[in-house]
Amino acid sequence: MTEEILEPDLPIIDPHHHLWDLRPLVGAFPEPRHPFIAAIAEHPYYTFNELHADLTSGHNIIGTVFMECGAFYRANADEAMKVVGEVEYVNGVAAQGASGLYGNIRPCAAIVGHADLRSGDSVSQVLGALQGAAPERFRGIRHQGAWDADPEVLGAPFHAPEGLYLDGEFRRGFAQLGKHGLTFDAWLLEPQLPDLIDLARAFPDQPICLDHCGTPLGMGSYHGKLHERFDAWRHNIRELAKCENVVVKLGGLAMSFCGLPDKGPAAGTTSEDLAAMWRPYIETCIDAFGANRAMFESNYPVDYWGADYPVLWNAFKRLTTGASGNEKRALYAATAAKFYKIEHILPG
């Protein structure tokens, strides 16, 4: 689908995208595939060339933040240290972009990696190695906690242990983040939001980012229940927003898990229709957190399920037509720049 780019001069930092080569993973799941695997199959590899093509497809993307996705791990390292390979790879992509040969965009200006926080205090060694792999760009950790009793919701690859963010050993590892000056990105599902509220209250000085609006669910046993679950989701978002150490990413709603839309990949839903679907969630998050604690994200290429890259950002822009200039600056760039400490890439 081709749409005219809305507000093409508006500076954007995309604070959440991946880089991967998941062809072996896709090949391990024959048809019929879970919709999430079907979406990945459309982009089984997404490296610098594919990312650059999206970043230069019309919107004024000035920089990005890479989000861990379990790719490019070291093959022969100790289990705990395999994750360092992903950060090494991404730091190379960042250096490629920073060369200026590909324009003024600064891809992967900040890098969020992974470490197994369930290893408690010993995770400090891994955190130090990750920082050493990208000392100018490494900013934090994501340890996803997504779990549901219905296996059809997430599909095979992504179930975390139930109650991960409440686990004592996980929290001992989590406590190491502050000692290293690192952020934490949290991905979990809408019914699990109370777990993150509890974690954020227990660590009020730890910067935390809630990914994907808390992932409302429209898959499996949740199909057709978005409306009836909305009030519970909204209540938990408002409770989480009371924790001043938490910010929120506005996006991820085009994932197949949400059913917003329920057909993909990129089945041709217009930005107008996407904006109408997402408005209750995006506006609730902005009202709860405020523009200075909220940031739009692409979650690409995962959100290709719902829209291609230009249409995705058009949908976001339709949702902020009434926002002030300062609010747009925060939502599209400044909040992300502050949280991930990349203010230097903001325009003067």
* Separation CA 75–CA 271 (nearest Å): 41
Q: Which amino acid, one-letter code, is at 32?
A: P
3-class DSSP assignment, residue 343:
helix
Backbone phi, then psi, for 5, in 5-degree steps? -70, 125
How much of the chain exceeds pLDDT 90, in percent?
89
CA 199 – CA 123 distance, rounded (Å): 18
Q: What are phi and psi of 283, to 5 degrees?
A: -65, -35
DSSP states of 253-293 as a string? Answer: TTSTTTTSSSSTTT----HHHHHHHHHHHHHHHHHHH-GGG
Q: Using the 8-state DSSP alphabet, how is residue 313 labeled?
A: H
CA 13 to chain centre: 13
Q: What is the rounded distance in angstroms from the CA atom of residue 182 to the CA atom of residue 194?
A: 23
Domains contained in the chain, CATH given:
12-345 (3.20.20.140)
Q: Rg (Cα) of the chain, in Å, rounded?
A: 19
Find the mean pLDDT for residues 144-162: 88
Where does 28-67 have alpha helices with state H?
35-42, 48-55
The predicted-structure confidence for 220-277, as pLDDT tens digits, reads as follows: 999 999 999 999 999 999 999 999 999 999 999 999 999 999 888 888 899 999 999 9
CB atoms within 10 A of CB 201: 14
Q: Are 269 and 306 in contact (CB under 8 A)?
A: yes
Which of these, 147, 131, 143, 148, lies nearest to 209 by C-alpha position? 143
For 245, half-sphere exposure in the C-beta direction (CA atoms, 13 angstrom radius) is 19
Q: Please, what is the end-to-end C-alpha distance for the chain in angstroms? A: 34
Q: Say how many C-beta atoms besides its own lie within 10 A of residue 245's C-beta.
A: 15
Average pLDDT, the chain: 95
pLDDT at 292: 98
How far, in Å, CA of 259 to CA of 55, rounded? 25
pLDDT tens, position by position, 49-105: 999 999 999 999 999 999 999 999 999 999 999 999 999 999 999 999 999 999 999
**Three-class DSSP category at 319:** coil
CB 113 within 8 A of CB 346: no
Q: For residue 119, which amino acid is it?
A: S
CB atoms within 10 A of CB 73: 15
pLDDT confidence band for 336 (50 / 70 / 90) = very high
